[in-house]
Amino acid sequence: MKRYEQFADEIATLIREGVLGPGERIPSVRQASRHHGISPSTVFQAYYLLENRGLITARARSGYFVREHARRLLGEPRVTLQPNDPAEVEVSELVFSVLDSLQDDQTVPFGSAFPSPELFPLSRLATSMTRGLRELSPQQVVADMTTGHTDLCRQIALRYMLGGIQLPMEELVITNGAMEALNLALQCVTQPGDLVAVESPAFYASLQVLERLKLRAVEIPVHPREGVDLEVLAERLEALPIKACWFMSHLQNPLGASMSKERKQALYQLLKQHQVPMLEDDVYAELYFGSTPPTPVKAFDDEGLIIHCSSFSKCLAPGYRVGWVAGGRYAEAISRLKLMTTISPSVPAQAAIADYLQHGGYDRHLRKLRHALEAQQGSMLAAADRYFPAQTRITRPAGGYFLWVEFPEKIDSLRLFNMALDHGVSLAPGPIFSATQQFRHCVRLSYGHPWTQSSERGMETLGRLLALF
Amino acid sequence: MKRYEQFADEIATLIREGVLGPGERIPSVRQASRHHGISPSTVFQAYYLLENRGLITARARSGYFVREHARRLLGEPRVTLQPNDPAEVEVSELVFSVLDSLQDDQTVPFGSAFPSPELFPLSRLATSMTRGLRELSPQQVVADMTTGHTDLCRQIALRYMLGGIQLPMEELVITNGAMEALNLALQCVTQPGDLVAVESPAFYASLQVLERLKLRAVEIPVHPREGVDLEVLAERLEALPIKACWFMSHLQNPLGASMSKERKQALYQLLKQHQVPMLEDDVYAELYFGSTPPTPVKAFDDEGLIIHCSSFSKCLAPGYRVGWVAGGRYAEAISRLKLMTTISPSVPAQAAIADYLQHGGYDRHLRKLRHALEAQQGSMLAAADRYFPAQTRITRPAGGYFLWVEFPEKIDSLRLFNMALDHGVSLAPGPIFSATQQFRHCVRLSYGHPWTQSSERGMETLGRLLALF
């Protein structure tokens, strides 16, 4: 990372932590240069970057100021969960009816699960595809189906190593995206009828998988910043024969919650004590806004209990369908199940990504992507501030591309969903994030697309519709 | 097809049907030219092609002769099946122990499930990948995950149309190879504990899928040329609550059997009468040796009962992992299940194949591939003739790349498998093709690789080992 990027990150942290408040003036270029012992041009570059990231704004003749939207006018969601018994999951029909309605590309895509494909280096990836295919021998095309593309496996293991995790290559299974990884893993550690602890609210696709495999959900509440409630989890692990957990330990979908390192460690100890395996769904790992990558629970795993699943779909190569699982003690079972169900993800797609990781400038792309998402978050938060009712509560996650919005109780998000669609705006209604269809007055909004006039109008429309309740 | 290719096919048919016997002289160029009213150079080209296909051989100064291996010295397998009750399937461990041992690329690959990747136009496909990616808009990359790559779907529907099947586009689901298609389809039409009719012998992976889904197998014997025994099937459908069938109606793996059109029609009537859906596993559809493509059972389907699954893995693009299912009345359920488990196969791989189908010369490649396989079959049959005991019985399928070999009863194919591996030769032992591990004295041999000295030595080695029993 360049010096000006470092400096920009320092200022960003001060803003995020509230040391520099909204509307407040930040040090002048001259002050900053003198104080930090860096050249004025470095400070300029840093401020320019922060402006692009939507964190500060320049006012003619008066310097740089922290942007107003950084003001947390809207409170933090409370996420209250009605206590409930382990539940049969029946959410799939509802989820599909929501997803089907998102197909229209004229709609403002606040309901979308994918960030805009324009944020990804698709043409650079195409170059990597050409190179990757050139270097792929005919024999490898067949052999890599069983073992995964060798260079790709090496590159992934290398990234674990940089994150402080020594991953034996045998533990790695390349899959058709993280979704296949999670599906395979859950099948390997459960039988129909088993109990699985899930977050509440949870990523709706995880609930669909439970439903499909006839598993019952034990909902564990998630704090909007601190993540899964460890006290409730401990109590449930004690009381119920839970066979597996499916959690996202940072940038949880939909809340954006990220557990602290200490809480992750405590979570692991709890799982170890009960010998319960955990699927760690870590697809947003690379989308953090701060300067240090988060540590997954997998880092504490000394018994192969954590099944760490991720992919390149949300951070590099949508549609390539390349993910992986570091399967711990379940790696062989997962690999065999993969061979029996889909055999292998596309080998050319693996070769393309392997080449890109080696030569494409992945870290540079990731920095750009994170800054874009952070700026888009700022714009959406500012718009929520302008158009949503004052009692609205909203998250402000340190990464990813989702906001969780808690409206006053009288708002029915399923009705809002239909009304908004009629007005050309999509959103993800709260009940699809719960096995027991709670969170009726909540929605998840995506800021994964570049902010445009139509995004702004979309938020305004939602505001107008909310006033009708 | 060119005139000389047509003429070569006519001669090939005469050889296959025994009109021209092994060792027999075929008409001289002058005779043929006069008799058929074609130029001598066309006849020359045809004979040259037939020589390449391994069907005829030139002898100096005496003309062309039908190759000796065409002599059916070895009889046809009898495939006797011990009657058995619906069976829990437990074959997976055995299959994996066999597959694991096939990883060594120094081994003569008679046990391989894939044809040699050298038989495929990999560099032409790479060109199509570059073009396909160039034409893929960022929006499509995401949209195509739900619906499949539009051009690819069109190209597949077009090929159905050329085969006389009008397929509504909505019936088509693009999958991660045929294996995913079959897995999804079977899950959509069964519940754990259900009975499924399978062929015996059957493709081992289908048995693994039954085992994984806790389904019970009703084994229906397969005649080595005529395919699944319809009388037994009718009786079983009458007597048992069979929920689905999983059949290969032509070039059945491992026997290579191809049902006649009449028998396919009769099979469909039987299924319709009992309202039992059938998974038609049709991955070898393009690998027929004759001049007319076989008609799938799907062609007779007027009620959406036939779930027709195929892929490009065995005929064009190994490792790309692009297959499909024409799901009949189950199409929507299959599509949803796909979205819940793997979301989508790789979009770039779909784009590459779509471009290849439009511009790559698919039919030319297929003709070349079929001729190569036919020549390789000839070489393997001739070697079996030379090295295997006289009581050996062997198939002579009209396509694909597998021979089914029935040895004298005293041969234990699992022992033979281990002995052969020690000598650097792989094969697929009979018991992995049966839910009840029958066929102990049978093996499946692949001629999917170009015939070399090492193939010849491999057959000789097998012959020597067989003599030790």
Q: Report H helices in A190-260.
A: 204-212, 230-239
Average pLDDT, chain B: 92
Per-residue pLDDT, A9? 84
Rounded CA gap, B357 and B121, in Å? Answer: 12
A165 occurs within a structural domain? yes
Distance of CA A285 to the CA centre of its chain: 7
Chain B residue numbers with beta carbons less than 8 Å from the beta carbon of A180 are: 341-342
Which residues contact residue B307 at a Cβ distance below 8 angstroms, ignoring those fewer than 6 apart?
B185, B189, B277, B278, B279, B280, B325, B326, B327, B328, B330, B334
A78 occurs within a structural domain? no
At B69, is the pLDDT very low, low, confident or very high (cuts 50, 70, 90)? low
Q: Which of B96, B146, B341 sits opposite A179 (nearest CB)?
A: B341
Task: Give the range of the structural domain holding residue A17, as residue numbers without chain letter.
Answer: 3-70
| Percent of chain B surpassing pLDDT 90 | 71
Chain A residue numbers with beta carbons less than 8 Å from the beta carbon of B340 are: 92, 179, 183, 205, 208-209, 212
User: Where is the domain boundary, B316, B331, B359?
Assistant: B359
Per-residue pLDDT, B444? 97
Rounded CA gap, B306 and B268, in Å? Answer: 8
B161 occurs within a structural domain? yes
Q: Which of A318, A336, A342 sits opposite B176 (nearest CB)?
A: A342
How many C-beta atoms lie closer than 10 Å to residue B293's C-beta? 15
The verdict on B137 and B101 lying in the same domain is no
Q: Quick check: A448 pLDDT over 90?
A: yes
Pick from A110-114, A367-371, B22-26: least confident: B22-26
Residues B86, B195: contact at Cβ < 8 Å?
yes
The verdict on A245 and A355 lying in the same domain is yes
Q: Once rounded to an integer, what is the mean pLDDT over residues B19-46?
A: 87
User: Where is the domain boundary, B339, B359, B379?
Assistant: B359
- The CATH number linked to B287 is 3.40.640.10
Per-residue pLDDT, A63? 85
The two structure tokens encoding residue A395: 């998250």
Cα nearest neighbour of A338 on chain B: B180
User: Between chains, do B145 and A319 touch, taking CB under 8 Å as contact?
Assistant: yes
Q: Look at residues A205, A165, A162 and name the one whose alpha carbon lies nearest to residue A182.
A: A205
Q: Once rounded to an integer, what is the mean pLDDT over residues B168-195?
A: 96
User: Between chains, do B346 and A346 touch, taking CB under 8 Å as contact?
Assistant: yes
Chain A residue numbers with beta carbons less than 8 Å from the beta carbon of B209 are: 340-341
Q: Quick check: A71 pLDDT over 60?
A: no
Q: Which of B114, B205, B336 sits opposite A142 (nearest CB)?
A: B114
Q: Specify the amino acid at residue B208.
A: Q
Q: Which of A96, A340, A348 sits opposite B212 (nearest CB)?
A: A340
Cα nearest neighbour of A180 on chain B: B342
Per-residue pLDDT, A72? 52
Contacts 24+ apart (CB under 8 A), B205-209: B205/A340, B205/B95, B205/B179, B206/B182, B206/B246, B206/B281, B207/B89, B207/B91, B207/B95, B207/B432, B207/B433, B207/B434, B207/B435, B208/A340, B208/B89, B208/B91, B208/B92, B208/B95, B209/A340, B209/A341, B209/B182, B209/B183
A75 occurs within a structural domain? no
Residues B249, B212: contact at Cβ < 8 Å?
no
Per-residue pLDDT, B377? 93
User: Between chains, do B340 and A92 touch, taking CB under 8 Å as contact?
Assistant: yes
Q: Is the peptide bond before B201 cis (omega within 30 degrees of 0)?
A: yes
Q: Report H helices in B213-286.
A: 230-239, 261-274
Per-residue pLDDT, B357? 97
User: Between chains, do A346 and B116 touch, taking CB under 8 Å as contact?
Assistant: no
User: Between chains, do A212 and B337 touch, taking CB under 8 Å as contact?
Assistant: yes
Q: Quick check: B168 pLDDT over 70?
A: yes
* Stated length of chain A: 469
Q: Look at residues B388, A164, A156 and name the one whose alpha carbon lies nearest to residue A148.
A: A156
A77 occurs within a structural domain? no
Beta strand B87-88 with A428-429: parallel, antiparallel or unpaired? unpaired
- The CATH number linked to B115 is 3.90.1150.10
Rounded CA gap, A348 and B321, in Å? Answer: 9
> What does the pLDDT look like over B282-313, one tens digit per residue?
999 999 987 788 999 999 999 999 999 999 99
The verdict on B454 and B347 lying in the same domain is no
> What does the pLDDT look like over A129-178, one tens digit per residue?
999 999 999 888 888 888 899 999 999 999 999 989 999 999 999 999 99
Q: How far is B351 from chain A (nearest CA, A)?
A: 11
Q: Quick check: B70 pLDDT over 60?
A: no
The verdict on B216 and B192 lying in the same domain is yes
Q: Which of B136, B340, B348 sits opposite A208 (nearest CB)?
A: B340
> What does the pLDDT look like over B411-444, one tens digit per residue?
999 999 999 999 999 999 999 999 888 999 999 9
User: Between chains, do B340 and A138 touch, taking CB under 8 Å as contact?
Assistant: no
Q: How far is B323 from chain A (nearest CA, A)?
A: 10
At B73, is the pLDDT very low, low, confident or very high (cuts 50, 70, 90)? low
The verdict on B137 and B254 lying in the same domain is yes
Q: How far is B318 from chain A (nearest CA, A)?
A: 7
The two structure tokens encoding residue A182: 């999670």
Q: Which of A130, A318, A348 sits opposite B349 (nearest CB)?
A: A348
Average pLDDT, chain A: 92
Q: How far is B67 from chain A (nearest CA, A)?
A: 31
| Percent of chain A surpassing pLDDT 70 | 99
Q: Once rounded to an integer, what is the mean pLDDT over residues B131-145?
A: 91
Question: In Å, how far are A26, A29, A45, A149 from A62, measured between CA atoms?
Answer: 10, 12, 18, 55
Q: Cα-Cα-Cα-Cα dihedral of A312, A316, A319, A320, to 10°?
A: -60
A342, A344, A353, A449: which to substitute to probe chain B, counting the most B Cβ within 10 Å?
A342
Per-residue pLDDT, B286? 96
User: Between chains, do B92 and A212 touch, taking CB under 8 Å as contact?
Assistant: no
How many C-beta atoms lie closer than 10 Å to residue B93's C-beta? 11
Per-residue pLDDT, A69? 63
Q: Is the peptide bond before A201 cis (omega within 30 degrees of 0)?
A: yes
The verdict on A105 and A16 lying in the same domain is no
B191 occurs within a structural domain? yes
User: Where is the domain boundary, B359, B393, B423?
Assistant: B359
Q: Which of A130, A180, A319 sits opposite B341 (nearest CB)?
A: A180
The verdict on B344 and B226 lying in the same domain is yes
The verdict on B323 and B433 lying in the same domain is no
> What does the pLDDT look like over A243-261, one tens digit per residue?
999 999 999 999 999 999 9
> What does the pLDDT look like over A204-213, one tens digit per residue?
999 999 999 9
How many C-beta atoms lie closer than 10 Å to residue A236's C-beta? 18
User: Between chains, do A345 and B176 touch, taking CB under 8 Å as contact?
Assistant: yes
User: Between chains, do A141 and B122 touch, taking CB under 8 Å as contact?
Assistant: yes
The verdict on B157 and B291 lying in the same domain is yes
Q: How far is A38 from chain B (nearest CA, A)?
A: 40
User: Between chains, do A126 and B122 touch, taking CB under 8 Å as contact?
Assistant: no
Per-residue pLDDT, B265? 97
Per-residue pLDDT, A2? 83
A166 occurs within a structural domain? yes
User: Between chains, do A145 and B319 touch, taking CB under 8 Å as contact?
Assistant: yes
Size of interface A-B (CB pairs under 8 A): 167
A273 occurs within a structural domain? yes
The verdict on A396 and A324 lying in the same domain is no
Rounded CA gap, A126 and A140, in Å? Answer: 20
Q: Once rounded to an integer, what is the mean pLDDT over residues A277-285?
A: 97
Q: Once rounded to an integer, what is the mean pLDDT over residues A357-361?
A: 94
Question: In Å, how far are A375, B11, B85, B353 from B139, measured between CA atoms?
Answer: 22, 52, 53, 19
Chain A residue numbers with beta carbons less than 8 Å from the beta carbon of B346 are: 176, 319-322, 345-346, 348-349
Q: Is the peptide bond before B389 cis (omega within 30 degrees of 0)?
A: no
User: Between chains, do B319 and A346 touch, taking CB under 8 Å as contact?
Assistant: yes
User: Between chains, do B130 and A126 touch, taking CB under 8 Å as contact?
Assistant: yes
> What does the pLDDT look like over B319-375, one tens digit per residue?
999 999 999 999 999 999 999 999 999 999 999 999 999 998 999 999 999 989 999
Q: How far is B49 from chain A (nearest CA, A)?
A: 26
The verdict on A45 and A168 lying in the same domain is no
Q: Quick check: A461 pLDDT over 90?
A: yes
Q: Look at residues A325, A362, A286 and name the one whose alpha carbon lies nearest to residue A128.
A: A362
Pick from A136-145, A397-406, B74-83, B454-463: least confident: B74-83
Rounded CA gap, A332 and A337, in Å? Answer: 9
Number of domains chain B contains: 3
Q: Specify the amino acid at residue A187.
A: Q
The verdict on B319 and B221 lying in the same domain is yes
Q: What is the DSSP letter of A26?
A: P
Cα nearest neighbour of B131 on chain A: A126
Cα nearest neighbour of A121 on chain B: B138
> What does the pLDDT look like over A330-355, one tens digit per residue?
999 999 999 999 999 999 999 999 99
Q: How far is A247 from chain B (nearest CA, A)?
A: 18
B190, B213, B316, B321: which to substitute to probe chain A, counting the most A Cβ within 10 Å?
B321
- The CATH number linked to B28 is 1.10.10.10
